[in-house]
Amino acid sequence: MKYMEKGGFQTQPLMRLTLLWAVTFLTGLWITNFLFYFSKMGFSAQSVVNYYCGDPSAFTQPRSFESMLEVTHFHLPMMAIVILILTHLLIFAPWPHTFKVWFISLTFGSALFEECDGWLVRFVSPDFAILKVLSFFLFQTLMAFLLIALTLFLLRGVSKMEERRSS
């Protein structure tokens, strides 16, 4: 923990290597999240409604309670762990405290909304479909920022270490 708090991890090659590999896998998660989403829905509210409530013209059935529960059961802990890791690293970035609080809250909140919106569309009202699209876009944007920021932060540590060696 002291390496993270004081920035010492940037000079620890194995710590940087571990974090860069984690970013690589999480970037793959980010990409596949897009692929999953667009294999089932699009950026239109109607595509979300069709996915969750069924589409008679495409002969698709509404999502069942059990199938949605199964997906939610696995998504909630996975999203919590991934966001925890990325936002935890954000804590040590040189940004204002207020920005960090808002960014962390917005990231967790958008992920929670993204998960809940499908339930709202299916069991409350199709009018919530636009929230699904917006929360997906917001969450993916925040995740991209976190992944890029962490990568740049780690790579900056590599360049600082090389500067120290050459001087």
For residue 93, CA distances in Å to 6, 17, 39, 96, 123 come to: 10, 18, 35, 9, 41
Question: Across the chain, where does the E strand assignment appear?
Answer: none
Q: What is the pLDDT of residue 13?
A: 80
Instruction: Please report, for the chain, the start and end positions of each structural domain, with discontinuous segments joined by +.
Output: 2-166
CA distance 104 to 91: 9
Q: Global pTM?
A: 0.84
Question: Quick one: pLDDT band at residue 69, thresholds 50, 70, 90?
Answer: very high
Average of per-residue pLDDT across 135-141: 97
Q: Which two tokens stand for residue 11?
A: 């000079």
